[in-house]
Structure 1
């Protein structure tokens, strides 16, 4: 009993530590002070009105949303196909490919960003939306492959084989049987990938800081000049956005067909 109580207290302390930024940022975003003051003495929606009236911040938000969406839109079918091949396929080098897929997760982000800086300069796509989308595809792809592969491993392949025995070819069986029964895992993978690429900072700093500025880069640039009180509003938005999307992804992983 004492051990369970100790573990419960420890888990609560860890959870509070992880959630501590929320308890700081959210009150600051509603502060009525002209600068950063914690705890706030008065509360209002003034900073939210300032944010939605700040064209530069809204442009950065739109850029982040746009490039993240298109990156995930491309990475999801690519990652799904790769996951299916890694789960079902039998070919030489499969173990190597499995390891290669997760390479972006362990490869130093600074090195990747620096490599893209020189590469993009060479091909004329530095500081462009295309450059951001291509970089974000690589960032999000491993998450889609790993999560989708786990969903395919839990799928009863005999259902697909039954459809094929009844006259359906593989493509028809996949789209009419396999995909409808695994879509929730694929959708959850896409949502997780979107959260990751939307918050990406290091790589974006190397490949876009002038014309195509993402929201994390805009926040970083703002910190270099001065501490803008609007940062609390934006941080609150990012936290709430991530929590909602992560909750949706968790619900999708629980979907049973």
Structure 2
């Protein structure tokens, strides 16, 4: 194996954003598809996954989410795949709904990432900068750490200062691996790459949904990270930062 091949074989990733739990949101249709997604992710170097259904899955079927998650983890434990599976939620934050969201977090209705203080935070695509600052500010005031999900997909935040302001206030940024390579929208790709090269990215995710819509294909994005960033930063973004997250409960 040549040097490039050895480097690729050594790469690994912790995926903090995947709609893996079957039949609870617009993610995997069934157990068979979820299992296929786990195998596909493992083949590409993913060694831990946060299963993050949308908020609605927990509001309308909390027990079902837990049941399906535990069944999937039991299946994974019975396989030879060396992969961890952890529960989270892509928490939908709306300008006029933050108090109910905060109540649901306090009550444990909406789970944080692996039970830590980190909240995978989703906005509407057209979120305004002032609303993003205010909503994340409310999370921070209550002791939660916002992890802004697929931040590259919020065009209004790329106004020259808002993303950096959010990070300076204590927010963390997650980008989708496919946004770096494979995304058809050049604006999204440019935003993701710009964040990466400014050193503002904390975590990678696949935001995988189904095998027929955004499968867990992270390989080209991961290649881009390692080809264009220093090794220490690439390791931190790919798995190191998320590894610390797993330990801080």
TM-score, normalised on structure 2? 0.24
Q: Which has the higher strand share?
A: 2
Structure number with larger C-alpha Rg: 1
Q: Which has the higher helix share?
A: 1
